[in-house]
Structure 1
Amino acid sequence: MRCTARFRQRWRDFTTLAADLVFETDAEGRFSFVAPEAPLGWSAEALLGRPGRDLLAMPKPDPFLLHGAARGLRAWLRRPDGGTACLSLSLAPLHDSAGRFVGLRGSGRDITAEVAEAEAQAAALRRAEALQSLVGRVRREVLAPRMLTATLEAMQGALGCAGAAVLEWPEGGGPVAIHRHGAEPRPLLAGLAPRPSLDAPAFLDGPGGECLALVPQQPQGVPQGGRPQALLAWRDAGQRDFDADDRHMLAALSDFLFVVLGNQALQQRLECQARTDALTGLLNRRAFLEDLGRRLRRQAQDPLRAGRAEGALLFLDLDNFKPINDRLGHEAGDAALVSVAGLLRELVRPTDMAARLGGDEFALWLEDADAAGAAGRAAAVCAAAARLDHRLGKGVPPITFSIGGAIRQPGTAETPEALLARADAAMYDAKRGGRDAWVLAAPDEPPRRLAS
């Protein structure tokens, strides 16, 4: 008997060492045996006679009502402190001598930590795959605006959002969406702070019960004096909140998004620098001719405009500019060129173009102007030269303009260079005529070589 008792105690010890819950149930699923003394924090004695379903965190499926064997069956059980534990259960049915089912015998191992670790690894893998997919998609785009669109679109899909937008706060105003994808964000903006001081992501309720995630641009990413920006992502009312996995994803995706935005801003600055004259801020020669070429091609392809003379090019050369450089130095000459550029900006319409072609040569494209309109504008520019006197300072010789104009020839495929050559030739006619004057090239005058 003593050997039998020791044998039973040994197997009881082995079983309780290998399992966090050992039990038997009757045919109704009630506990008839429980070990160890405090499984999952419960008193073993208090569990006797209770249905196993009382411990289930989710009522279905109920493993305590199974009639067959099972291994590795997962079930979430409640702890007395309100927490839960995931157990991997192994079950074996019990039968009486007649073969009738009379209950279950089982053991369970607490695998809560293992499940949490596996879920964390799976979440990290999902985030990595989503980021890899997003980066791959963005890399296939060449232009920065398309990269930004691809980023927002991929972000919306990865997070299951109704929409995503980049918000910016102008000085003294509420937020505006400067880029977006998906649903319209404007109904959500009224409830956001006029000038946020976010230093961490915020998760808010929208006016209609939407789930909002607002992720600010990191301070080191905001240019000095720049406007604060943030990523806004949202889910419609009734959808789930942003959980911990979503928040990790948002942090990673927002970092990537603001890198794309920074690259877009850099690309825009570089494009601006490549297209503008560094001194005056006007278009440079290359950009002016490229833009003019596009306008001429559109006019030639438009059947309503192709046969009409629409558009005039004015070529301006400054009179008395060389004495300014020779007597007062290049700084005074640069100041004079900047003053001329400012005057030309005042004289052009939004549809016109102004450029510095090089040195003291400037050009204006007057959209939709005919010969009469071009003559009137050229005369106005010559007259406006008198307004430069108070800008140039004392001791600076007065500046006047010699202007040559050329009207777009209807029914021809005249290039920007040919149009500029005709205007340049007319400008030299104005020079030879005494300066401070304007001359329009004759409509049938052939293009002449540009003067050096």
Structure 2
Amino acid sequence: MTPHHPVGSREDDLGTPDDLTSYDADVFTLDPKVMAQAEAPVIVMDSHGVPLFANKNAVGFAKGIRDGLFPEIYQLIRRTLTTPGGVVEMMTFEVQRGTATLELTALPTTNNQVMILPRDVSMDRNLREALIDSRQRYRDIVEVSSAFAWETDESGKFIFVSPRGALGYRADDIVGRFPKNFLLDTADQDSEHVFRSQKAVRDVPVWFRRSNGKDACLSVSSTPVYSRDGRWTGTRGLAHDITEQRRRESEVATARNRDRLMTYIVRTMRDEIDPLLVLKGASEASTRALACSNCIIFKRNDETDELEVAAGGDSKDVNDIAQQALNQLLGDGETFDAHVGDFRIYALRCHYHQRNNGAVIFMFSADHPEPTDGERAIMTEVSDQVGIAIEQAIQHERILTLSRTDGMTGLLNRRAFFEELKRRHSRLQRESAPAALMYVDMDNFKLVNDIHGHQAGDEAILALTRVLQENVRPADLIARLGGDEFVLWLEGADIAAASERARLLMNESAVLRQYSGDKEHPLGISVGIAVHEPDSKESLQQLVQRADQTMYQVKKRGKGRFGIAAAPGSDDPAKIED
């Protein structure tokens, strides 16, 4: 095609807008061969929408129009013929592979015909729609999640935050400010650096302060932003609120640590068989597990009903402070938490079946921080376990008492007496000190039972028990061997002291006569004594035998008397006195 210039124009005037809009018919003369070989699709149609010509790249589309597959074209033809300058329209058609979107440029030509230049924009449109969808999807995910998007500039200021804001702040409250204005620790430069990082970072925990002043833990991921020339211009990323997750993780860790410590404490307690040693083990294990200064355990005395130190009381000062804390606890309620002296005290009552049977006093140094919820839970569990252990100790003591005492009188029984006597006799051998073994037997006791009955006999036995208990010292031993037979161990008593004690008992035993079976057979006592002399090598068995033989000799001489055995190895008879 040869350009043709309008008459009166100059070639150097073509650069002006007026000249460019000037035209004549020769300017638009197109060579049909060029149209047929053009790479761009070209179709010429008549006014009825019938294809008259299609080049090689438009043949398929033209055939589809001719076959009636694209009826939308007919409306396009009509609009083109009535629209000066033609029509440019986007149309989407159903094809075998799905849909195709074409940009159709329709130009009216001479002879009431239309030239259509189709351009397939399916890929462009799909990419654009995918990009729009992707952006919307990202926007939706950010909006519905607890994360918020952010971006900072080179100075580190926020220049963008998700429109809904974050942590109770509006977006406008954050934009234009530095991250350090919201950090829990404003001196934490490492956390602030995440928002200015020139390298991608992922899931960095950062502690922020919420608008209401409470703490918030954020998991921050960021990536640097660069200009087209490679210059760093800022950082953008996401921040996800993981405060609740951290709280749950902390609770789980605390629970695991509590279980670990309680397992250690309970295992230490279970390793002991003696209940009192169980309490000692609980005190020591709790002291180590909780890093406290002392753990004092009080146990209720089954006889006096008073709380007494059972474990952990290693010094008077500590015991005094523990006693003060105990008094406060008993007056305040179930727990007591305060500073006493140089210690921070946390005290709890112990129970078994709703009955208070003791207390645990945890003593921390004065500068020890306030116990955490986890530590308080451990101390509560320890008090529960100690409550059970105390009850076991009480029951153990009861069983031990029953096994060592006479059921009627409460005195030591035969087994317990001789177990203790064996220990004391061994000590005498080392210390070279005197002592006296005294057998006491009731006279005419059988008549009491036969005439007045066994209840009167029991009352007589209890009366003699009182006489013996009221006339011995704390260091002495008293036991009922069975029936009307009793035995005493007089610690440190020589012959003179033993004789004096015997006379006293003979006089005091006059109270027994009121229980006599008859006047001819008054109820009284006979006493046989064997004295262990200092430096004596006499065995315990020999000592017992001498006391027993002396009792036999006293009974044989007429009862109501006391006798002192001759020295060991002597053939002399016992010295018997009224």
TM over 0.5: same fold? yes
Q: Does structure 2 retain, via aligned residues, the 8 Å contact 1:153–1:181?
A: no
Distance of 1:446 and 1:101 partners within structure 2:
116
Q: Which residue matches 1:387?
A: 511
**Residue 281 of structure 1 aligns to a residue in which SS?**
coil
Match of 2:162 among 16, 22, 35: 35
Matches within 5 A, 1:107-146: 107-146=238-277
Q: Which residue matches 1:165?
A: 296
C-alpha distance after superposition, 1:375-395 (max 9, x if no partner): 2222221122113346x5997
Match of 1:353 among 477, 498, 501: 477
Distance of 2:377 and 2:455 partners within structure 1:
55
Match of 1:373 among 481, 493, 497: 497
Q: Does structure 2 retain, via aligned residues, the 8 Å contact 1:188–1:207?
A: no
**Residue 46 of structure 1 aligns to a residue in which SS?**
helix
Matches within 5 A, 1:218-229: 218=351, 220-222=353-355, 229=358
Distance of 2:256 and 2:444 partners within structure 1:
71
CA 1:219–1:358 in structure 2 vs 1: closer, same or farther (change >3 Å)?
A: closer
- What is the one-letter code of the residue matched to 1:51? F
Q: Which residue matches 2:542?
A: 418
CA 1:19–1:364 in structure 2 vs 1: closer, same or farther (change >3 Å)?
A: closer
Matches within 5 A, 1:198-277: 199-208=333-342, 210-218=343-351, 220-222=353-355, 229-277=358-406
Structure 1 residue 272, shift from structure 2 partner:
1.1
- Bigger mean CA offset, 22-31 vs 188-197: 188-197
In the alignment, structure 1 residue 286 sits paired with structure 2 residue 415: yes
RCO comparison, higher one (Cα < 8 Å, 6+): 1
Match of 1:333 among 437, 443, 457: 457
Q: Which residue matches 1:403?
A: 527
- What is the one-letter code of the residue matched to 2:564? L
Distance of 1:360 and 1:188 partners within structure 2:
47
C-alpha distance after superposition, 1:236-267 (max 9, x if no partner): 22221122111111111100111111111111
Q: Which residue matches 2:180?
A: 53
- What is the one-letter code of the residue matched to 1:271? L
**Residue 218 of structure 1 aligns to a residue in which SS?**
strand
Q: Does structure 1 retain, via aligned residues, the 8 Å contact 2:516–2:522?
A: no
Distance of 1:169 and 1:147 partners within structure 2:
15
Structure 2: gaps spanning 5 or more residues: 1-124, 572-578
Distance of 2:314 and 2:251 partners within structure 1:
29
CA 1:141–1:415 in structure 2 vs 1: closer, same or farther (change >3 Å)?
A: farther
Q: Does structure 2 retain, via aligned residues, the 8 Å contact 1:31–1:47?
A: yes
Structure 1 residue 111, shift from structure 2 partner:
1.7
**Residue 41 of structure 1 aligns to a residue in which SS?**
coil
Q: How many residues align?
A: 436
Identity of aligned residues (%): 31
Structure 1 residue 351, shift from structure 2 partner:
1.2
C-alpha distance after superposition, 1:348-405 (max 9, x if no partner): 1111111111111101111111122222222221122113346x59979642111111
Match of 2:312 among 167, 171, 180: 180
Q: Does structure 1 retain, via aligned residues, the 8 Å contact 2:435–2:489?
A: yes
Structure 1 residue 125, shift from structure 2 partner:
1.1
**Residue 212 of structure 2 aligns to a residue in which SS?**
coil
CA 1:262–1:168 in structure 2 vs 1: closer, same or farther (change >3 Å)?
A: closer
Q: TM-score, normalised by structure 2?
A: 0.69
Q: Does structure 2 retain, via aligned residues, the 8 Å contact 1:88–1:111?
A: yes
CA 1:177–1:403 in structure 2 vs 1: closer, same or farther (change >3 Å)?
A: closer
Q: Which residue matches 1:441?
A: 565
Q: TM-score, normalised by structure 1?
A: 0.87
Q: Does structure 1 retain, via aligned residues, the 8 Å contact 2:280–2:310?
A: no
In the alignment, structure 1 residue 315 sits paired with structure 2 residue 439: yes
Q: Which residue matches 2:58?
A: none
Q: Does structure 1 retain, via aligned residues, the 8 Å contact 2:221–2:238?
A: yes
Distance of 2:398 and 2:258 partners within structure 1:
33
Q: Which residue matches 1:92?
A: 223
Structure 1 residue 436, shift from structure 2 partner:
0.6
Distance of 1:374 and 1:185 partners within structure 2:
41
Distance of 2:380 and 2:254 partners within structure 1:
14
Larger radius of gyration: 2
Structure 1 residue 12, shift from structure 2 partner:
2.4
